[in-house]
Amino acid sequence: MNILSVDHLSITFGGVCAVDGVSFDIAEGLVFSIIGPNGAGKTTLFNLISGLYVPQDGRVLLAGEDVSGWTPERLACRGLSRTFQNLQIFFRLTALENVMVGRHRHERTGIFTDLLHLPAVERQNCETREQAMAALARIGLQTMADRPAGSLAYGDLKRLEIARALATEPSVLLLDEPAAGCNAVETAELEGVIRGIAKDGVTVVLVEHDMRLVMNVSDRIHVLANGRTLAEGTAAEVRADPAVIQAYLGGQEVGRAVG
Amino acid sequence: MAELLQFIFSGLTVGAIYALVALGFTLIYNASDVVNFAQGEFVMLGGMTTVFLGLAGVPLPIAALIAVIATVAVGVALHRLAIEPARGAGPVALIMITIGASIFLRGIAQIIFDKRFHSLPSLFGMDPIRVGGAAILPQSLVVLSGAVGIVVLLWVFIDRTLLGKAVIATAANRLAARLVGIDTRRIVGFSFAVSAAIGAVAGILVTPITLTSYEVGTLLALKGFAAAMLGGMGNAIGAVVGGILLGLLEAFAAGYLSSQYKDAVAFLVILAVLFAMPQGLFGRAKVDRV
Amino acid sequence: MRALFYSRLMPIAAVAVIAAVLPAFFPSAYYYRVAALVFVFALAGIGLNLLMGFAGQVSLGHAGFIGIGAYAVAVGPTHLGLPPWLSFFAGAALSAIVAFLVGRPILRLKGHYLAVATLGFGTLLSIVFTNEANLTGGPDGMAVPRLVLFGWAARGSETWYWISAASFVIGAALALNLIDSPTGRALRAIHDSEVAARVLGIDVAQKKLMVFVVSAVYASVAGSYLAMFNGLITPEVSGFLRSIELVAMVVLGGMGSIVGSLVGSAVIVVLPQALSFLHDYEHVVLGLIIMGVMIFLPGGIVPSLTALFAGRRA
C-alpha cells in the first residue's frame, strides 16, 4: 500500500514554477530520498506535502486519502510529521520539554482541566514526560533532558528535532536535510538513527545533499531538477543514470563521492 | 455640493498633516524598521515651542526656526539615547520604547509649557477664501503647499544627492549598506532628524488652524500611523496618499455620520487595513521563508 | 509528584502568606487602598502575562477589556436593573465574547502589526465609552453601585484588599496550573516557533485565541473590581495610557513570571503614590520607566533576579 503519494503537484511563486508536475508513490516502510541541485524545489515540495503551502495543481494522498491543502495540524493528526532545514527548535524550552510538545496530539486534557490542574492533568504530565524521556533515550540525548535547548550543540539539536517529530508517533516522517552542517561522525550516527526509525515501521522521506548518506540508507531515490522529476529508482539505478550524473552527480566525481 | 466641497477642503488640510506625520514614520521605518510613536510629539514640539518662544518675545520667524532646530535635536537624542542602545530588540520592544519616549516628551512638555491650548497667527490672515460656495482658510493653502513643498524637497534629496542614495541603500539592506562603507548608524540618526524636522514644520503650519497643546501628539501619531498603514508601511508615496485619504475619510465621516466618532475613523482604518490588506495600497505582500 | 506540586505553587503560597501578614504594617486605610489597587492591576497583569510572556503575543489595547468589566458593573445595575454580582459575570462573559470575535482576525497578525491592531481596538473601545454618554456618562464617567452579596455590602479599602488579594492568589494559581500542563507547553511552543507547533499537531490559531480570551476575562474581572471598589468609573480606565501601563507592568515584573506581575504592578501603582509631590512629573517618570525597562531590563525584574541567584546570566 502506498502510504504517501504525490500526483502532478505544482506551485508557482511570482512567475517561477518552483514545483512542476511532480509525481511519485512511496510504499509503506521504505526510506525514500529526494535529491537534486540547490533550487530544485525539494524543500518547496516538502512544504507542499506537509501543508505549509497549498498546491496550485495536483494532489497529495496520505494512506489513500486526499489531503491536498490540509493544514499542518490536521496532517499531524493523520500521522505525518517533519523536521526543518532551518532548525525550528523551541529554544526557550528544555530538550525534554521540546519532545514533550511532540506528544501533544496524544494528550487528552482540555483547557478547563488544565486550569484547575485536576489529577488527570498530573497523570497526563507524568505519562508525557515518560514517553518523551523514552524518545530522547532512543536518540541518545537523555543526558541533555533538562538543559535549555538553546545550550545544545548544533548536531544534537538536529537529532532533538527528529526525536520531537518521532514523539508524535508518525506513520510518515519527512526529514529536511538532517545532515546539513553535520560532520562525518554526526552523519554516520544519523545514518544509524534513520535505519532505526525505518526498522520501527515509520516511512522516512529524506531530502539530502550528502550523497554517501543517501546512497547508503535509501530504498528508492527521486531526483528533482528545476522543479521537475529527472529520474527515480534504486540507488544503483540513479547512480548510473546519465541525465542525473550530468545534472547533479558530476562525471568522474561519482565514484569517489559514493565510494 | 457646497457642503461636499467644504468637507473636501477641511479633509485635505488635516490630511496634509497626517501625510507629513506618515512620511516621517516611513522615513524612520525604512531606515531602521522602527515604528516611531514619538512622531506625533515632533509635531507638538514644533508648534508649542514656537508659541512659547513667541510669547517670550522672540520674532515668530526666528521662533519657528529655533523650534525646528530644537525638535531636530530631540529627534537625534531619541535615536542616540533610546533607539541605538536597544538595537537588536524585537519590534514590539522598540514600539514600546518609542511609546515610552512619547509619554516622556508629553510629560516634559506639560511641565515646560502648560496644559492650555495655544494658537499662532495665520500667515495670510483669517479671512476665508470663497470657492464654489465653500470656504477655505488661507492657512489651509499654506499647509497644503507646505506639504507639497516638503514632499518635493524630500524627493529631490533622495533622488539627486549622494546622502539620499545612502538613505535608500540603508533602507533596502542595512548589512549590504554597511559593507559598502555607509555608516548606517549615522543614516538612521539622520532619518530621525529629518522626520523630526518634517513633524516640527507640520506642527508650526497647522497650529493657526487646529491650535496646539501638550497633548496633541498621541492622537496624531496614531492617525499618522493609520495613514502609513493605509498607504503601505514603508512606501513614501503611500504615506502621502494614505494621509490625504485618511483626512478626507475623517471629514466625510464627521460631516455625514457623526462628528463624535471622528477620531474612531483612523482606528477603524487600521483594523480594516490589517484585516483585509495588510500590505496597504502600495505595499508588497510579504512571504515568510521556512 | 509531591515535589512538583510544591514547586509549582510555592511562589503563590509565599504571596498568600505575605498578603495575609502585610496589613499588620498598614498605618491607615490608605495603605489598604494602595495595596488593593496593586493586587487588582496585578490580576489583569496575570492574563496579559499569559498572552505576552508565555504565548508570545502582544496586546497594546488590553485596558479595553478592563473597561468592559468596569462599565458592566456600572451600566448593569444602573440601566438594566441587574444586581452587581450578575453584572460582574455578564461583564466577564461579554469580554470573552468580544475577545473571541476580535481575536480570530487580529491574532493572524504578528509583530508590530499585531501591536498596532490591538492598540487600535483598545482605543476604539475607549472612544465608545467616552462618546456613548447616555449609557456611560461620557467623559465624566458614572457612579458604580456597591457590590452586595446576600445582604452584605462590600465597602471600604480593607474589605477590597482581602477580596483583591484572594482573587490574585486564585488567579495566579490557575495561571500556574495552566503553565504546567499540555496547554501551557503548547503556548510556550507557539512563542518559540509557530510553524513547528503546527507540524506537531497544535492548532495554533485556536490556542492563541483561547489565551487571548482568558487574558480578556482576567482584565474584565480586574476592571469590575476597580469600578466597584472606587464607586466611580471614567473612560480613562480603558484608555491608551492604561494599556501601556499594563504592558509596562508585565515587562517590568518579568514576561513569563506570574509573580512578576505583582512586582511590576507594585512599581507602577506605588511609585506615583510615593512621589505624589511630583504629581506633575507622573508622565515623565512613567515614560522613563518604560524606556529604561525596555532598553536595559527587557527580561524583567523577577527573572533577572532569579537568574542572578541561580548563578547564571539572565
pLDDT, tens digit (0-9, with 9 covering 90-100), for B181-227: 788 888 888 889 999 999 999 999 888 888 888 888 888 898 998 89
Which positions in chain A touch B290 (Cβ < 8 Å)?
Answer: 43, 47, 52, 84-86, 88
pLDDT score for C131: 87
Provide the grid cell at B165: 542614495
- Tell me, what's the ipTM? 0.89
CB contact at 8 A, C275 and C285: yes
Which positions in chain B touch A13 (Cβ < 8 Å)?
Answer: 287
**How far is the alpha carbon of C62 from chain B, nearest alpha carbon, in Å?**
14
Which positions in chain B touch A52 (Cβ < 8 Å)?
Answer: 290
Interface residues of chain B, partner chain A, Cβ below 8 Å: 287, 290
Whether residue A158 is found in the same domain as residue A223: no
Last-in-domain residue among A163, A189, A213: A163
Asked, for residue A64, whether it belongs to a domain, the answer is yes
- Residues C203-236 have pLDDT tens digits of 999 999 999 999 999 999 999 999 998 888 999 8
CA B177-B182-B183 angle, 5° bins: 120
C-alpha to C-alpha distance for C283 and C287, rounded to whole angstroms: 6
pLDDT score for A250: 62
Domain of C190?
Answer: 2-239
Asked, for residue A41, whether it belongs to a domain, the answer is yes
Strand pairing partners for A224? A229
Instruction: Classify domain B2-276 at the CATH topology level.
Output: ABC transporter involved in vitamin B12 uptake, BtuC (1.10.3470)
Q: Report residue B284's pLDDT band, with 50, 70 and 90 as the boundaries.
A: low
DSSP secondary structure of C234-255: -GGGGSHHHHHHHHHHHHHH-T
Helix (H, G, I), strand (E, B) or coil at A13: strand
Asked, for residue C13, whether it belongs to a domain, the answer is yes
Whether residue A216 is found in the same domain as residue A97: no
C-alpha to C-alpha distance for B103 and B19, rounded to whole angstroms: 22
Radius of gyration of chain B (CA): 19
Asked, for residue A232, whether it belongs to a domain, the answer is yes
Contact call for B218 and C240, based on CB within 8 A: yes
C-alpha to C-alpha distance for A188 and B245, rounded to whole angstroms: 62
Scored b (16 or more CB within 10 A) or e, B78-88 reads bbeebbeebee
Minimal Cβ distance to C200: which of A51, A116, A168 = A168
Contact call for C283 and B222, based on CB within 8 A: no
Whether residue A138 is found in the same domain as residue A215: no
Asked, for residue A247, whether it belongs to a domain, the answer is yes
Which positions in chain B touch C251 (Cβ < 8 Å)?
Answer: 96
**How far is the alpha carbon of A181 from chain C, nearest alpha carbon, in Å?**
20
Provide the grid cell at C253: 515584573
Helix (H, G, I), strand (E, B) or coil at A244: helix
Asked, for residue A68, whether it belongs to a domain, the answer is yes
Pairing between β-strand C152-154 and β-strand A203-207 as defined by DSSP bridges = unpaired
**C196 Cβ partners below 8 Å, 6+ apart?**
A84, A88, A89, A90, A164, C189
Q: Which residue has the cell 535608500?
A: B168
**Residue C49 in this model has a pLDDT that exceeds 80:** yes
Which positions in chain C touch B95 (Cβ < 8 Å)?
Answer: 60, 112, 115-116
Q: Which residue has the cell 490540509?
A: A70
C-alpha to C-alpha distance for B196 and B210, rounded to whole angstroms: 20
Domain of A129?
Answer: 89-163
Closest chain A residue by Cα to residue B287: A13
CB contact at 8 A, C247 and C64: no
Whether residue A201 is found in the same domain as residue A95: no
- Residues C87-97 have pLDDT tens digits of 999 999 999 99
Listed by start position, the domains of chain B span 2-276
C-alpha to C-alpha distance for C295 and C282, rounded to whole angstroms: 20
Pairing between β-strand C152-154 and β-strand C142-143 as defined by DSSP bridges = unpaired
* DSSP class of B128: P
Question: What is the percent of chain C with per-residue pLDDT over 90, rounded to a whole number?
Answer: 43
pLDDT score for C271: 81
CA C268-C57-C272 angle, 5° bins: 5
Which positions in chain B touch A84 (Cβ < 8 Å)?
Answer: 290
C-alpha to C-alpha distance for B188 and B194, rounded to whole angstroms: 10
Q: Report residue C6's pLDDT band, with 50, 70 and 90 as the boundaries.
A: low
Average pLDDT, stretch B115-123? 83
**How far is the alpha carbon of A89 from chain B, nearest alpha carbon, in Å?**
13
Q: Strands, DSSP E only, in A126-254?
A: 172-176, 203-207, 220-225, 228-233
Contact call for B89 and C288, based on CB within 8 A: no
Our measurement of the distance from residue A133's CA atom to the centroid of its chain's CA atoms, rounded to an integer in Å, reads 21
Radius of gyration of chain A (CA): 19
Contact call for B290 and A13, based on CB within 8 A: no
Whether residue A174 is found in the same domain as residue A74: yes
Whether residue A154 is found in the same domain as residue A29: no
Contact call for A101 and C174, based on CB within 8 A: no
Return mean pLDDT, chain B: 86
Last-in-domain residue among A135, A163, A191: A163
Which positions in chain A touch B284 (Cβ < 8 Å)?
Answer: none
Whether A203 contacts chain C with CB within 8 A? no
Provide the grid cell at B145: 503647499
Provide the grid cell at B218: 498621541
Average pLDDT, stretch C160-172? 92
* Domains: count for chain C: 1
Q: Report residue C311's pLDDT band, with 50, 70 and 90 as the boundaries.
A: low
- Residues C289-308 have pLDDT tens digits of 889 888 887 777 777 777 77
Helix (H, G, I), strand (E, B) or coil at A94: strand
Whether residue A155 is found in the same domain as residue A204: no
Measured between alpha carbons, how far is residue A258 from residues A185, A236, A245, B284 in Å? 16, 11, 12, 45
Q: Kindly tell me the burial class for residue C297, based on how many C-beta atoms sit within 10 Å of its own C-beta (0-12, 13-18, 19 or more).
A: middle
Provide the grid cell at A165: 517529530
Average pLDDT, stretch C7-22? 85
Contact call for C294 and B222, based on CB within 8 A: no
* DSSP class of C143: E
**Neighbouring chains of C at 3+ CB pairs within 8 Å?**
A, B
C-alpha to C-alpha distance for A226 and A238, rounded to whole angstroms: 17
C-alpha to C-alpha distance for C64 and C60, rounded to whole angstroms: 9
Which positions in chain B touch C268 (Cβ < 8 Å)?
Answer: none
Contact call for A52 and B290, based on CB within 8 A: yes
Whether A43 contacts chain B with CB within 8 A? yes
Closest by CA to A31, choosing from A227, A160, A207, A249, is A207
Q: What is the reported pTM?
A: 0.89
Q: Return the C-alpha torsion angle C140, C145, C146, C148, nearest 10.
A: -160
CB contact at 8 A, B82 and B194: no
Pairing between β-strand A220-225 and β-strand A31-35 as defined by DSSP bridges = parallel
CB contact at 8 A, B199 and B212: no
Closest by CA to B29, choosing from B94, B124, B76, B80, is B94
Asked, for residue A44, whether it belongs to a domain, the answer is yes
**Residue B255 in this model has a pLDDT that exceeds 80:** yes
Last-in-domain residue among A129, A163, A197: A163
C-alpha to C-alpha distance for C100 and C94, rounded to whole angstroms: 10
pLDDT score for C1: 46
Closest chain C residue by Cα to residue B233: C113
Which positions in chain A touch C184 (Cβ < 8 Å)?
Answer: 114
**How far is the alpha carbon of C198 from chain A, nearest alpha carbon, in Å?**
5
Minimal Cβ distance to B100: which of C120, C280, C287 = C287
> How many helices and strands (H and E) does chain C possess?
14, 4
C-alpha to C-alpha distance for B95 and B282, rounded to whole angstroms: 23
Return mean pLDDT, chain C: 87
Provide the grid cell at C61: 489595547
A–B CB contacts, 8 A cutoff, strictly below: 8
**How far is the alpha carbon of A185 from chain C, nearest alpha carbon, in Å?**
27
Helix-, strand-, coil-residue percentages of chain A, each rounded to 5: 45, 25, 30
Average pLDDT, stretch C98-115? 90
Strand pairing partners for C152? C149
CA C187-C191-C192 angle, 5° bins: 120
Whether B287 contacts chain C with CB within 8 A? no
Closest by CA to B13, choosing from B127, B123, B106, B146, is B146
Q: Residue A175 carries which side chain, given as an amino acid letter? A: L
Q: How many CB atoms lie under 10 A from the CB of residue A146?
A: 9
* DSSP class of C54: I
Q: Which residue has the cell 505582500?
A: B285
**Neighbouring chains of A at 3+ CB pairs within 8 Å?**
B, C
* Domains: count for chain A: 2
**Residue B254 in this model has a pLDDT that exceeds 50:** yes
Asked, for residue C11, whether it belongs to a domain, the answer is yes
pLDDT by residue for chain A (259 residues), tens digit each?
Answer: 789 999 999 999 888 888 989 999 999 999 999 998 887 889 899 999 999 999 999 999 999 899 998 999 999 999 999 999 889 999 989 999 999 999 999 998 888 888 888 888 989 999 999 999 999 988 888 898 899 998 998 888 999 999 999 999 999 999 999 998 888 888 888 899 999 999 999 999 999 988 889 999 999 999 998 889 988 999 889 888 888 888 776 654 444 444 4
Closest by CA to B269, choosing from B284, B252, B256, B286, is B252
Minimal Cβ distance to A92: which of C186, C192, C214 = C192
Whether B28 contacts chain C with CB within 8 A? no
A–C CB contacts, 8 A cutoff, strictly below: 106
pLDDT score for B234: 80
Give the ranges where A103-178 is alpha helix by DSSP (H).
Answer: 111-116, 119-139, 154-166
C-alpha to C-alpha distance for B167 and C207, rounded to whole angstroms: 41
Q: Report residue C314's pLDDT band, with 50, 70 and 90 as the boundaries.
A: very low
**C55 Cβ partners below 8 Å, 6+ apart?**
C187, C188, C190, C191, C207, C208, C211
Average pLDDT, stretch C44-48? 95
Provide the grid cell at C221: 474581572
